[in-house]
């Protein structure tokens, strides 16, 4: 998730105060929290605040829950009078703050306990490695804890599938065939009595093409295996980006080719290029497409619409495990990319209420906090919890709980390489080199092999910048 776009704003933020002290005071009994308020909303943290006050009746809590939390945090961290005590947000900038010493060292805090286990053991398996930050001197410290653990990929309109007797595809071949079936049906969208607008197989989030990563990375895992991906993520050489020399990165190019097959002529509306992620979601929920590449925050967004009007008649969200590619090894079939490495729960180094902030973190990551997040935000925090003891009545969330039980082959995009930790590189070389939008808008159409050309340019970029990135990383 990226703070500026990955969580499309549906619930506009308003400040919430659990006390009477205004934000910015130096009251010793006041905890100041800045929290992202986007698709997961803010009701979950408001509920946790009320629970926290039961055991801390003399504490005032000022919550600034805003969509632009990242900008607020950046401004406050630059201030000499920063009175913030806790940050919960999204953005790879957390790595920069950690490197600059702007976040408190939480290494010892990992040994404290919640629900009878250490915080280190409470952290979900997919984030075990990434809670430790390697400093330039080689020391490993913890400066942030995970926020959410997201599942992305292909979501579908369950009601539309049922009404048309469309089967949920489990293989790539079935997915391709389904797209052809939907196009051939040529059905008008709900409410279009003139039949001018036809249901498309897919809608996507406009320029937010990082949503495609979630399914493409799953396919990459199927093709390459997550151990090979983890080896790639060591970022040991610029040649890792050369598909002629690195089989693992060549597998990512192959996964991208499979993605392009799905985004072929007629499978999607090219006007999607101009849509915001939020508007694309509205089109999906309003029945203009059967499927959407997205993350699991989509469910909480969809409830805002379906609980308020006629969309109940045309939409119910479903999630399809990423269809299996042909000829892959069985041990790779369950490879699943987990969203969340760009998120953080952190205490600013300047906090005057460190112990209180740590207590509040414990409240969030406890089983009770995880249950609150499922019920109020309809998502999963990045922590182990016993869901069998929770009274979860939402059918979609129970489906996701069952799905996650079977995810034994999980991976993320985290790397302990300093080039990654200072924010210079990622899987696509840099975020700006992600090729999806260029491939959709025809930027590479002049080439006989457009996808190969896109990856060739990534390799060139890595080679030309490697020395600079190495120097920047201090290694």
Q: With contact defined as beta carbons under 8 Å apart, do 311 and 159 qualify?
A: no
pLDDT tens track for 266-324? 898 767 777 788 888 888 998 999 999 999 999 999 998 776 555 667 899 999 999 99
List the domains of the chain with CATH numbers: 16-149+343-404 (3.40.190.10), 151-338 (3.40.190.10)
Alpha-carbon span 6 to 214, nearest angstrom: 12
346 has which bridge partners?
87
pLDDT tens track for 145-158? 999 999 999 999 99
Q: At 265, is the pLDDT very low, low, confident or very high (cuts 50, 70, 90)?
A: confident
Residue 20: pLDDT over 50: no
pLDDT of residue 188: 87
Pair of tokens at residue 162: 């049922």
Alpha-carbon span 109 to 118, nearest angstrom: 9
Please state at what angle helix 212-224 crosses helix 247-262, rounded to 10 degrees: 130
Alpha-carbon span 98 to 468, nearest angstrom: 21
pLDDT of residue 403: 95
Q: CA 272, 318, 152: angle at the middle one, nearest 5? A: 65
In angstroms, the Cα distances linking 136 to 130, 140, 235, 236, 422 are 16, 9, 16, 16, 10
Q: At 14, is the pLDDT very low, low, confident or very high (cuts 50, 70, 90)?
A: very low
pLDDT tens track for 449-463? 999 999 999 999 999
Burial, 124: exposed, middle or buried (Cβ in 10 Å; 0-12, 13-18, 19+)?
buried
pLDDT tens track for 326-383? 999 888 999 999 999 999 999 999 999 999 999 999 999 999 999 999 999 999 999 9
pTM across the whole model: 0.92
User: N- to C-terminal Cα distance for the chain?
Assistant: 28
């Amino acid at each position: 998730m990226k703070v500026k776009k990955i969580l499309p704003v549906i619930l506009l933020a308003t400040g919430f105060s659990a006390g009477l002290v205004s934000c910015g005071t130096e009251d010793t009994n006041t905890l100041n929290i800045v929290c992202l308020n986007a698709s997961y909303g803010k009701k979950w943290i408001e509920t946790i605040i009320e629970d926290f006050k039961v055991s801390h009746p003399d504490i005032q809590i000022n919550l600034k829950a805003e969509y632009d939390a990242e900008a607020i945090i950046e401004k406050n961290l630059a201030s000499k009078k920063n009175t913030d005590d806790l940050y919960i947000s999204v953005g790879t900038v957390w790595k920069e703050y950690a490197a600059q010493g702007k976040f408190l060292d939480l290494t010892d805090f990992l040994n404290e306990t919640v629900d009878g286990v250490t915080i280190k053991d409470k952290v979900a398996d997919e984030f075990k490695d990434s809670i430790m930050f390697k400093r330039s001197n080689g020391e490993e410290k913890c400066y942030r804890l995970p926020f959410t653990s997201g599942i992305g990929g292909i979501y579908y309109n369950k009601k539309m599938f049922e009404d048309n007797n469309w089967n949920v595809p489990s293989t790539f071949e079935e997915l391709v065939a389904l797209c052809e079936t939907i196009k051939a049906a040529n059905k008008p969208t709900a409410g279009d009595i003139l039949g001018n607008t036809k249901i498309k197989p897919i809608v996507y989030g406009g320029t937010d093409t990082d949503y495609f990563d979630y399914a493409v990375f799953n396919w990459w895992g199927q093709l390459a295996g997550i151990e090979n991906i983890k080896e790639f993520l060591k970022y040991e050489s610029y040649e890792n980006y050369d598909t002629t020399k690195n089989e693992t990165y060549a597998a990512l190019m192959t996964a991208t080719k499979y993605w392009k097959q799905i985004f072929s002529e007629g499978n999607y509306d090219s006007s999607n290029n101009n849509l915001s992620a939020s508007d694309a979601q509205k089109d999906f929920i309003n029945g203009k497409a059967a499927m959407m590449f997205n993350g699991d925050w989509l469910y909480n967004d969809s409830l805002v619409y379906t609980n308020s009007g006629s969309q109940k008649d045309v939409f119910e969200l479903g999630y399809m495990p990423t269809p299996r590619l042909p000829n892959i090894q069985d041990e790779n079939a369950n490879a699943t990319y987990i969203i969340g490495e760009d998120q953080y729960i952190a205490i600013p180094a300047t906090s005057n209420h460190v112990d209180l902030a740590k207590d509040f973190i414990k409240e969030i990551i406890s089983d009770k906090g995880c249950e609150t997040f499922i019920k109020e935000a309809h998502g999963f925090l990045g922590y182990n919890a016993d869901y069998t003891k929770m009274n979860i009545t939402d059918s979609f969330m129970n489906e996701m709980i069952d799905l996650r039980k079977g995810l034994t082959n999980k991976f993320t995009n985290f790397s302990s390489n300093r080039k990654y930790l200072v924010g210079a590189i990622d899987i696509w070389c840099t975020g700006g080199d992600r090729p999806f939008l260029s491939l959709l808008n025809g930027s590479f159409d002049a080439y006989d092999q457009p996808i190969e050309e896109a990856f060739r340019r990534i390799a060139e970029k890595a080679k030309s910048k490697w020395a600079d990135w190495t120097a920047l990383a201090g290694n």
